[in-house]
């Protein structure tokens, strides 16, 4: 755990550690009794592959929460006549929420995300990701990458689970950010994609552009679901690469969110 300029070694099981009300206060108090790691040791740990900050939590995702996402989906499905369902969900009271992953399919910082071998149009989706405790209260924030096949979803929206859920289709990290106050709505999300050392795409937006509030998404998710140790919720993509762009193996995706950090992933595919 890091607090201000210090790093601490915490010997607690993840699910128990994070699933509590007032997580910030709990962690703050822990800093008093915990072992401080010397800078060299902490830096070494942080430079290596970091495990994603997840235990047994399910990862859910919201969709079409930004105009950018609605428009991109309408464009990719224009030939199939399904474009209307995206404009309707964007305006509807009920948001789109879908199951994304369990921890064994989630990559961490500096880990590999996959593109499907049967998909010709693939993109990363940079998303503010909430950690919500079992009582339905947002206790922390992370960076999520909701890897997606635009060709498969564009063919038919009923293929959404195949476009969204496959090995290494989700990434979360580099940390769980637990602030004292809720995240500021002017917080920016930035994505850059590099190929062979060259920048292929780079864009950013603020989370204030989201059509829905975070609490509204959480309220719908928790209506008929219990999460024993809390859950993660990716809150939808705000940035979409141009329609002629598709990811390739070897690409590097960097997603940065103010105050949280940068999540780096290498693009690969199933062996
Ligand atoms: O409607 C399909 C998925 C949308 C999504 O993942 C997003 O908007 O981020
Ligand atoms: Mg998404």
pLDDT at 119: 98
Give the confidence band of 189 by pLDDT, cuts at 50, 70, 90: very high
Average pLDDT over residues 215-241: 98
Q: Give me ligand 1 centre to Cα 65, in Å.
A: 8
Give the confidence band of 87 by pLDDT, cuts at 50, 70, 90: very high
- Which numbered atom of ligand 1 lies nearest the CA of 89? 1
Q: Give me ligand 1 centre to Cα 240, in Å.
A: 11
pLDDT tens per residue across span 109-147: 999 999 999 999 999 999 999 999 999 999 999 999 999
pLDDT at 29: 94
For a substitution probing ligand 1, which of 59, 60, 62, 63 has the most ligand atoms within 8 Å of its CB?
Answer: 63
Q: Give me ligand 2 centre to Cα 128, in Å.
A: 10
For a substitution probing ligand 1, which of 68, 125, 154, 217 has the most ligand atoms within 8 Å of its CB?
Answer: 125
Average pLDDT over residues 178-196: 98
**C-beta neighbour count of 81 within 10 angstroms:** 8
pLDDT tens per residue across span 17-29: 999 999 999 999 9
């Amino acid at each position: 755990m890091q607090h201000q300029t210090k790093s601490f070694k915490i010997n607690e099981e993840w699910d128990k550690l994070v699933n509590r009300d007032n997580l910030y206060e709990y962690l703050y108090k822990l800093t008093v009794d915990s072992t401080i790691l010397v800078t060299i040791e902490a830096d070494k740990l942080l430079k290596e592959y970091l495990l994603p900050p997840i235990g047994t939590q399910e990862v859910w995702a919201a969709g079409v929460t930004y105009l950018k996402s609605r428009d991109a989906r309408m464009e990719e499905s224009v030939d199939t006549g399904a474009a209307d369902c995206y404009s309707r969900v964007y305006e509807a009271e009920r948001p789109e929420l879908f199951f994304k992953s369990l921890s064994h399919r989630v990559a961490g910082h500096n880990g590999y995300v996959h593109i499907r071998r049967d998909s010709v149009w693939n993109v990363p989706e940079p998303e503010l990701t909430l950690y919500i405790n079992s009582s339905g209260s947002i206790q922390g924030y992370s960076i999520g990458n909701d890897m997606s096949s635009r060709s498969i979803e564009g063919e038919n929206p009923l293929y959404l689970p195949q476009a969204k859920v496959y090995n290494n289709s989700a990434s979360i990290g580099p940390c769980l950010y637990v602030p004292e106050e809720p995240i500021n709505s002017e917080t920016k999300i930035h994505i850059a994609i590099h190929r062979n050392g060259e920048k292929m795409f780079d864009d950013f937006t603020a989370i204030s552009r989201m059509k829905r509030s975070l609490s509204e998404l959480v309220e719908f998710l928790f209506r008929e679901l219990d999460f024993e140790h809390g859950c993660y919720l990716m809150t939808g993509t705000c940035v979409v690469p141009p329609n002629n762009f598709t990811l390739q193996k070897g690409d590097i995706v960097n997603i940065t969110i103010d105050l949280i950090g940068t999540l780096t992933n290498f693009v690969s595919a199933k062996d």
